Structure 1
């Protein structure tokens, strides 16, 4: 059992606008992530999105796509607080495909390959990698759920990877966007230039 969990409750201070509504090649980040997840919908029990109260545009888009919208009433507490909210609302044994909204360029093929690798060994944490660096999104098996409550709130999900290095499977990929978070106007411009050069949506 695998749920997708998309994190979009941040304040996007470096971008200067909410990242879920930032547009790239005519599509918002949120539209792009939903599109990629939809391509693997049969492998995902549900799509969960945690955002801020009052973000009606994002909520409506999520609900139209069949996703579940949850509100983080204290987004200033950071991403881990959103993860905990989602865990409390999902079945006890569900694994989580954790996807930050600032990685909208990851290909649907990468997501399919990541899920396939996890399905081959579902008790392992499954992470895309360039070989030298870990990327996003990450699949956390059901046993990790309690660990999200054991670590410090400001530690973030990467702390679990540090605690359990021997329980990680790596998907080696040449998808550069698993490593690139689009959280500044400069990174957004880089993505726009890449799309124009490669003529990819």
Structure 2
């Protein structure tokens, strides 16, 4: 389940990483609404945890916290709509999942507990590494796109050198317009 969630987050990250943030009033309202909904869901889930005792109560509370972190991180990432925000959201979610896993491990004893804790650490390490790697891949692709755009502009500008006068000026203007200069 976590793997599918991480894959979905990675896909969202790849789709939205290059877009500029559009902090419209509607986007801000949706962001505030999402945060309020996350807080309300957390409070309701936390209230349900009071029926339990001991480790099951601790796990219930940790699950509620992880769900709140996930919802708030996703809302913040979508609102800011930057690569940095999406990466931070994935890191926050990985840390919340780690805290939940550690709480689940507390019910175990001896070697089982040690194995559980190490598995939780390994999962967090993998999630953090994936988040950082995805960020680097997206940055590299963005840099490559920019390099290609510059090279294509240079080719178009070079073609304009064969012309003279107004035709050359129009050709250069068209190349600048086409490649964003």
TM-score normalised by L of structure 2: 0.28
Which of the two has higher C-alpha Rg?
A: 2
Higher helix fraction: Structure 1 or Structure 2? 2
Give the alignment's TM-score, normalised by structure 1: 0.26
Structure with the bigger percentage of strand: 1
